[in-house]
Structures are given as C-alpha cells and as structure tokens.
Structure 1
Amino acid sequence: MDKENIASETEELKNSEEGQQETNSTKEDQKDTTEVEKLSAEVQELKDKYLRLYSEFENFRRRTAKEKLDLIKTASEEMMSAIIPVVDDFERAFKANETEEDASKVREGNQLVFNKFQKVLESKGLKPMEGLIGEPFDAETQEAITQIPAPNEEMKGKVIDVVEKGYTLGEKVVRYAKVVIGA
C-alpha cells in the first residue's frame, strides 16, 4: 500500500498545485483587470483635464485678441478728449462772429479750418451725438444738468436743449452730452 499511498498523495499534491495555480492565475487576472481599470480611469481623467485646459486656453486667446482690438480702437481716446474743447471754442467763435459783417473773410477762414479739423476727427472715429432734442433722456450717453418745466406733456422726460454736445469714439462714449430735460 505504500505505493498506492504515495501515488494518491502525489495525485493530491498535483491537484492541490493545480488548484493553487488556478487560484493564483485568477488573482493575477483580477489584479491585471483592476490595474487596467485604474489606468483606463487615469487616462480618461487626463484626457478630461487636457480638454478643459485646451478650451480655457482658446477662450483666453479669443478674449485677449478682442481686448487688443478694443484697445486699438480706443487708443486715442485721451487725445480726442483733449481736442473736444477746441471744437467747442471754434463753435463759440462762429456764433460770436455771426453778428459782425466785416469779419466775413475771417469767418470763412475759420470755417475752412474747422471743417478740416472735424473731418480729421471723424476719420479717427470721433463722432458728435446728434438729434438729441425731443428724444427721451438716456443716462448712459447724456448728463442732465438741469430740469425745466416742459412746454407740453409730450416733452416730459425728454431732452429740451443740448448745452454741450456729447461725443463717441467708435461705440464708446468719450464725453457725455450735457442736456436740459423737461419736468
């Protein structure tokens, strides 16, 4: 029986080794699957981070380009603001010269200079706000300096007189129009 015992023990050992190997291979397969899942999740997370970073960069690039364009459009705003009072002085001089007949040549010369000056300003994007009388008061483009009784019910809350013209540079208000509104 020794041979039979040895044979049976050998067979049991073989069976237990095979069982052990199957258990080990199953554990290794599970370990490999878990690692693959972890790596797959990590790859997905990195892809997501990459896409977010890429879209943030694209938004930054677009915003920066837009800001540069806006800056270029309004770069001369300070200069234009300084020149506007000169335009006002020209307009006042013309009103004062209207009563004198001897100064017709001076007036004509001033008018030529003024027209040329206005064309230069308009070519740079500076435009006066026009047609404000009779329009509703707009606090975003106008500054009310006083209120007077409205001549009729229609003019209540509307611009009755423009004391000082307003100007825009592109779409931006450079100087608010000073107006009188009806109460």
Structure 2
Amino acid sequence: MSDSENPTGNGQSVPQDPDHSAEHAQQADGAQGQEGLTVDDILDTPQSQDAGAADAASLQGDAAPAGGSEAQGSEAQKLADERLEELRRLQAEFVNFRNRTVREKDQLRDFVSGEMVAALLPVLDDVDASRKAGDLGEGPFAAIAAKLEEALTKKGLTRIGEVGEVFDPNIHEAVLQQPTQDVAPDHVSMVLRSGFKVGNKVVRAAQVAVATQP
C-alpha cells in the first residue's frame, strides 16, 4: 500500500496540502544550501548595516575606557611627582636643620669652654710665671699644673704666641717693635704674655714684640 492511499483501507486517496508540501520543499532546499556552503562563502558574505553599526559601537565602547585609564594614569603620575617634590624639600630642610644644629652646638661648646678658660686665665698666668722662674721643675705643684693644662687641652685649649710666628693682628697684640737680625721682619720676636683660644674662639690675644730691621 502506497503512502498516498487511505490508511483506513477504503481505497480512497488522501489529498495532499499544497502549503505543507511547499514548506517541506523550502526546508529541504535550505538544508541542502547550508550543507553546500563553504568557509569562503561565509567570509565573502556582505555584512549588514546593523552588524557594521554594532561593531563600530563596540569599538567606541572599548576605546572609551582606554582614554579614561590614560587620564587616570596622568593624574596619578602628577600626584606622585608632587609628593616626591615635597619629600625632597622636607629632606633638604632636615639636612639644613641638622647642619645648623651641629654648628650651633660647636659654637656653644666653644663659648662655654672659652668662659671657663677666661676664668682660669690668672691661674694659667701664674703657672707660666712659675715655669719661667724655674719653680715647676719637680714637686706636687708641677704635677697639678700639668694636670690642669692637660685637662684644658682636651677641652680644646690652644696657646697662642710663639717666637718666629708671622704677626697676625687677629691673634697677636703688638706691644713693641724690636730691631733684631735673629727673626725676620714682621715676625714675633718675643712673647710677653701667652694668648689662648678654644676651638676657633680667641679667648685672649698674645702680647708680643714684632721684629723689625736693625
């Protein structure tokens, strides 16, 4: 029995629906057309306007965040440069403060030591006079004088005034001029009273005689 015959077996044929047959034919043609497409056929298919517009919008959407990231990166770099400049300025200020503090500390130490030496100048003069007189050769007084001078030397005490030094009005006080051939002119020919300085601070200038041509 054929497909067109009545399934009830009465021998009458069933008429076919023309729309239904056409739909089956189109589906069959579409399936055959899809099976026959190649990769080249798909790539060569022209893109619709809607698809092109969608791609352009997608590209613009991707570009917008990149521009925003670049702007944020520029702001962050600017802020980092400002903070670095502030740190450098603070470091320079700290270095200047530290150097100034060290300098002031040294000046204060020299000032205090100078005041102490100034108070002991009469004692030091007596020590020098006793040494010139030969009274400090031996004995307890000589040991005390040596310990005193040693302690003051550790505090930065320096004697000023030696025969043969170039005369310097900053540390020497010229009391007289002495014609002599033993010392070059404008040099110290005799020390009348020793001077002292602590560090760079002159506590007392040395009283000296200045040599001249005989």
Aligning the two structures, in what range does the TM-score lie when normalised by the shorter sequence?
0.5 to 0.7
Q: Does 1:88 align with 2:125?
A: yes
Q: Secondary structure at the match of 1:137?
A: coil
Q: Secondary structure at the match of 2:175?
A: strand
Q: Does 1:36 align with 2:73?
A: yes
Distance of aligned partners of 1:149 and 1:116 in 2 relative to their CA distance in 1, 3 Å threshold: closer
Q: Secondary structure at the match of 1:47?
A: helix
Equivalent position amino acid for 1:116 in 2: I
Distance of aligned partners of 1:91 and 1:43 in 2 relative to their CA distance in 1, 3 Å threshold: closer
Q: Does 1:128 align with 2:159?
A: yes
Distance of aligned partners of 1:154 and 1:94 in 2 relative to their CA distance in 1, 3 Å threshold: closer
In structure 2, distance between residues paired with 1:141 and 1:37 = 63
In structure 1, distance between residues paired with 2:149 and 2:182 = 38
Distance of aligned partners of 1:73 and 1:94 in 2 relative to their CA distance in 1, 3 Å threshold: closer
In structure 2, distance between residues paired with 1:169 and 1:122 = 14
In structure 2, distance between residues paired with 1:166 and 1:24 = 88
Q: Over residues 78-116 of structure 1, what are the superposed CA-to-partner deviations in whole Å (9 max), with x where a residue is unaligned? A: 121122133325655787xx6xxxxxxxx68xx854652
Q: Does 1:175 align with 2:204?
A: yes
The equivalent residue for 2:34 is none
Whether the aligned pair in 2 keeps the contact of 1:162 and 1:178 (CA below 8 Å) is yes
Q: Over residues 58-88 of structure 1, what are the superposed CA-to-partner deviations in whole Å (9 max), with x where a residue is unaligned? A: 4533553464356446533212112213332
Whether the aligned pair in 2 keeps the contact of 1:144 and 1:178 (CA below 8 Å) is yes
Distance of aligned partners of 1:70 and 1:122 in 2 relative to their CA distance in 1, 3 Å threshold: farther
Distance of aligned partners of 1:41 and 1:57 in 2 relative to their CA distance in 1, 3 Å threshold: same
TM-superposed CA distance for 1:167, in Å, is 1.4
Q: Secondary structure at the match of 1:155?
A: coil
Equivalent position amino acid for 1:77 in 2: G
Whether the aligned pair in 2 keeps the contact of 1:74 and 1:170 (CA below 8 Å) is no
In structure 2, distance between residues paired with 1:94 and 1:14 = 114
Equivalent position amino acid for 1:122 in 2: E
In structure 2, distance between residues paired with 1:115 and 1:173 = 27
Give the number of equivalent residue pairs.
159
In structure 2, distance between residues paired with 1:158 and 1:61 = 41
Percent identity between the aligned chains? 26
Larger RCO (CA under 8 A, 6+ residues apart):
1
Distance of aligned partners of 1:88 and 1:114 in 2 relative to their CA distance in 1, 3 Å threshold: farther
TM-superposed CA distance for 1:158, in Å, is 0.5
The equivalent residue for 1:64 is 101
In structure 1, distance between residues paired with 2:73 and 2:145 = 75
Distance of aligned partners of 1:115 and 1:140 in 2 relative to their CA distance in 1, 3 Å threshold: farther
Q: Does 1:155 align with 2:184?
A: yes
In structure 1, distance between residues paired with 2:131 and 2:183 = 33
Distance of aligned partners of 1:34 and 1:145 in 2 relative to their CA distance in 1, 3 Å threshold: farther
TM-superposed CA distance for 1:18, in Å, is 4.6
Of the two, which has the highest radius of gyration? 2
